[in-house]
Amino acid sequence: MAFKVTLTDTSGFSSTELDKLDQAVAIWERVWNSDEFKARVLGFGFNQTITTGTWPFRKKENRFCPYFRMTSETRIQVYNNLLAGSERLNPGDNGVADISITLDKRDGKSVIGYTYANTRMQWIYSDWFRSVTPADIAGNLAHEYCHKLGYSHEFNYNALRSFTVPYIRMSLNIIRFGGSRPLMRSEASLGSLRKSFRREKTANERGCGRLKTGL
């Protein structure tokens, strides 16, 4: 069953802006149903510098950590949950993302949009919405939707955010659709997944568990 997005509630958008929102939704659906996105999630990981040994024999090693930060789920579980369409405030694995969105006409400054844990509504600032492409908007919709599924990241921006589920957002297709946001460094092809899963199998044995990395 293909992943679908339904705009269940929209507020503050003109007819032209709703057309742009519909374009963003179509891009989001196409990307999350793509093989590239599946490969990106299942092959996700990052390099972490680990200090091993005891003084005076301590040394630093660069090790591959095959998981997302700030969740205990495996990459396969993350992928399945992203496509299941079961939001915390609207549970049910129907493969549909139910989106309620309001165009906030205040000055967002450097903020794109926001949401809260106790509501299904999400807000997007009009100045940003009007200045970017539908592909960029698709990325933001997907990001906020990840929060609706229960995934989080640090409140204050830092480089570690890139290794959390909300920042997986899209896939290589985002560039093809005219997105301007930079892609994350973690990439994978379907052909590389087997090698990646071998690394995952031995990750904890090599000291790259979530607790040992301090992440």
Higher pLDDT: 184 or 135? It is: 135
Which CATH number fits the domain that encloses residue 87?
A: 3.40.390
Average pLDDT on 190-198 reads: 38
Residue 186's pLDDT band, with cuts at 50, 70 and 90, is very low
Residue 83's pLDDT band, with cuts at 50, 70 and 90, is very high
Residue type, 93: D
Say what the pLDDT of residue 153 is: 87
Residue 156's pLDDT band, with cuts at 50, 70 and 90, is confident
Least confident of 95-99, 107-111, 153-157, 192-196: 192-196
Say what the pLDDT of residue 118 is: 92
Long-range interactions of 151-154: CB distance < 8 A, separation 24+ = 151/68, 151/70, 151/71, 151/78, 152/70, 153/69, 153/70, 154/70
Residue 108: HSE in the Cβ half-sphere, 13 Å Cα cutoff:
17
Say what the pLDDT of residue 214 is: 29
Reported as a single tens digit per residue, the pLDDT across 84-106 is 999 999 999 999 999 999 999 99
Predicted confidence (pLDDT) at residue 211 exceeds the cutoff of 80: no
Share of the chain above pLDDT 90, in %: 50
> Hey, what are 118's tokens?
């106790």
- Residue 60 to residue 97: CA distance in whole angstroms: 43
* Structural domain boundaries enclosing 170: 4-213
Counted domains in the chain: 1
Higher pLDDT: 140 or 182? It is: 140
Least confident of 21-25, 61-65, 68-72, 180-184: 180-184
Say what the pLDDT of residue 132 is: 92
> Hey, what are 41's tokens?
């999630």
Say what the pLDDT of residue 169 is: 60
Say what the pLDDT of residue 172 is: 41
Predicted confidence (pLDDT) at residue 173 exceeds the cutoff of 90: no
| Whether the predicted model's global pTM rises above the 0.85 cut | no
Q: From start to end of the chain, where are the E strands?
A: 4-11, 46-52, 59-65, 96-104, 113-115, 121-125
- Residue 213 to residue 207: CA distance in whole angstroms: 8
Residue 158's pLDDT band, with cuts at 50, 70 and 90, is confident
Those residues whose C-beta lies under 8 Å from the C-beta of residue 53, and which sit 6 or more positions away, are 59
Higher pLDDT: 169 or 138? It is: 138
